[in-house]
Structure 1
């Protein structure tokens, strides 16, 4: 069965809208796991707009399931401008301290509202190759956030990645439209290229209860999906336990 990893960024975003620790990221992680989620994902950004470095440390101390930390490996330390919030220590420092099961490298920057494209390894491969090497030496599985581009996916293997995570935003946008079939075909082909290259396959971004089952049925050897934004909305409507169950049904 494809693993379901719940991204807790939006829980942290709600918490950060007040000077409080409620809702608790830790308690929501525990509830998701108790309800059947296979893993927890977070994506700390330098401005700490949602998940903070301290959340990563706290989660690493309590989780007994797969912990996946996403982010830009080149993100440098940043001073916090919020009272009571610790400074951002740099992405790789978070990883060195937490040693998560998986690290998903994402080429985002501070001006992006959310991640919206995969790596261009022709341009950035040499910069991230030593980072991949360091992560693997720590025993951390490395996944690269990638577009469904066959040439780029093959390069991911040459630079030492263990897996790729397909950026599924375009699929979600095309779902239910005349472009759906052609768009989905690109992801099906990308999954086959990943398998031929010896790469494990993850997927994430804008997957939801409407479009996930078709993606799961169509894409070969899908190991893991990470879902946060849609899950948070569904948990409000359905309740957390029922939302987890609904996503697990999509993945069976």
Structure 2
């Protein structure tokens, strides 16, 4: 079964919009795990627009499943990850002013930089994942820099699927096969939803984990958080 890691950034956005501590991020993480979520993902950004760096430290002692921290490996981010030692770190090439993640790494162009960063994380027992587009060269580059896993950037699939074009899955199927042949684990995330997750799972082999936040939280406004988590788990079986 593919694991479901719930990204709680949007809960932090809601909390920050009014100040205070509602919703309580730590309680939310505990509840998500009790509802069946198999991991918690956060993506702190330098401006702390949603997840704050302190949230990451606070969650360290709360998350009992897998803890995945995503972000651009600037020095502050690297120091935080090394202090917390989450289950997994996912490296994402975010521009500081990006609204959300919008591209995968060029693992060839940034080979030396990424190799150095990944080496440090792996020396500290942290599983490493690289956010990439479904391009064979980028996946081969991820293998060369020593990444344990890739996270496939799935926005293009989600867009084509919503337009009725199921051919958009083909690059992801091929990418997963390439990664598996190279001995790399496969994660995926971005714009995956209840509508498209089963089709994606059924057509992407060796899928270990999906990270879902925005859609899951939006769907929960209508259907309830516990119910939605279990709907995802059912589709991922």
What's the TM-score once normalised by structure 2's chain length? 0.98
Answer yes or no: is 1:158 the counterpart of 2:140. no
Answer yes or no: is 1:145 the counterpart of 2:111. no
Match of 2:38 in 1: 38
Unpaired runs of at least 5, structure 1: 77-89
Match of 2:83 in 1: 97
Match of 2:114 in 1: 128
Contact 2:29 2:62 in 1 (8 A): no
Answer yes or no: is 1:247 the counterpart of 2:227. no
What's the TM-score once normalised by structure 1's chain length? 0.92
Question: Helix, strand or coil: the match of 2:131?
Answer: strand
Report deviation, 1:93.
Answer: 1.3
Counterpart mapping for 1:42-61 below 5 A: 42-61=42-61
What is the alpha-carbon distance in structure 1 between the residues aligned to residue 157 and residue 97 of structure 2? Answer: 23
What is the alpha-carbon distance in structure 2 between the residues aligned to residue 241 and residue 177 of structure 1? Answer: 29
Q: Deviations over 1:170-214 (max 9, x none)?
A: 000000435431x21110000000001100000000000000000
Q: 4+ runs of 1 displaced by more than 6 Å?
A: none
Q: What is the CA RMSD across the aligned residues, in angstroms? A: 0.9
Unpaired runs of at least 5, structure 2: none
Q: How many residues align?
A: 237
What is the alpha-carbon distance in structure 2 between the residues aligned to residue 16 and residue 177 of structure 1? Answer: 34
Counterpart mapping for 1:57-136 below 5 A: 57-73=57-73, 75-76=74-75, 90-136=76-122
Question: Helix, strand or coil: the match of 1:121?
Answer: coil
Match of 1:221 in 2: 206
